[in-house]
Amino acid sequence: MSITHLFFDVGGVLGTNGWDHEQRQAAFAHFGIDPAEFEDRHREIVASLEAGRATLDEYLAITVFYKARSFSQGDFKAFVLSLSKPDAAAIAIARDLARSGRWRLATLNNESEELNRHRIRLFGLAEIFGAFFTSCWLGTTKPARRIYDLALAMSQAEPAASVFVDDRERNLATARSLGMQTVLFTGAEKLRGDLAALGVE
């Protein structure tokens, strides 16, 4: 079956992760936050943040600003947003595929709404992707099957005619169990070759 749909993860594929372990470590160092105390609170609310049931402000009120700080919430949010960096080479591949008009492109990722909107703008993704299947809008996160089912149904994509690109094997495993083609992202050069092997070039 010929490929008709391409689904791309954002963090770790089209750019840096938005608010993963390494980004949190950078924030701890920059603002002098106790990592253990933060992570304990983070675990309690991160699922709600990524599933769109809590705003970034609510998340920060629980994880950081539950006590007086020497910095403002605005300062902290600005720093978090500044950590997002696009992968120009990976984005160029997606842009070339979109320009060909041969495939329908969408993102499929876990992210909070405010961060997701910021990264769509910063990375220029609205010019490339026709849909954004993000956990904050779908109310469910990878690797749970529900988010893949929704993305496939809403895009009217046949699993066997769909490719999902992600940098984490556990996210790809669910996609494969549904019959989707998968590509483990380790870099733009390999991505181009892996897609070509599936007839996407």
What SS3 string covers 152-175?
HHHHCCCHHHEEEEECCHHHHHHH
What digits encode the pLDDT tens for the residues 114-139?
Answer: 999 999 999 999 999 999 999 999 99
Given this model, what pLDDT does residue 3 score?
98
Neighbour-count burial of 101, counting CB atoms closer than 10 A to its CB (0-12 exposed, 13-18 middle, 19+ buried): exposed
Confidence at 35, pLDDT banded by 50, 70, 90 = very high
CB 106 within 8 A of CB 71: no
> Mean pLDDT for the chain?
98
pTM of the predicted protein model:
0.96
What digits encode the pLDDT tens for the residues 42-53?
Answer: 999 999 999 999
- Position 108 pLDDT exceeds 90: yes
Given this model, what pLDDT does residue 1 score?
80
- The residue-averaged pLDDT of 169-173 equals 98
Note the helical H segments in 19-168.
21-31, 35-50, 56-63, 73-82, 88-100, 113-123, 135-138, 145-155
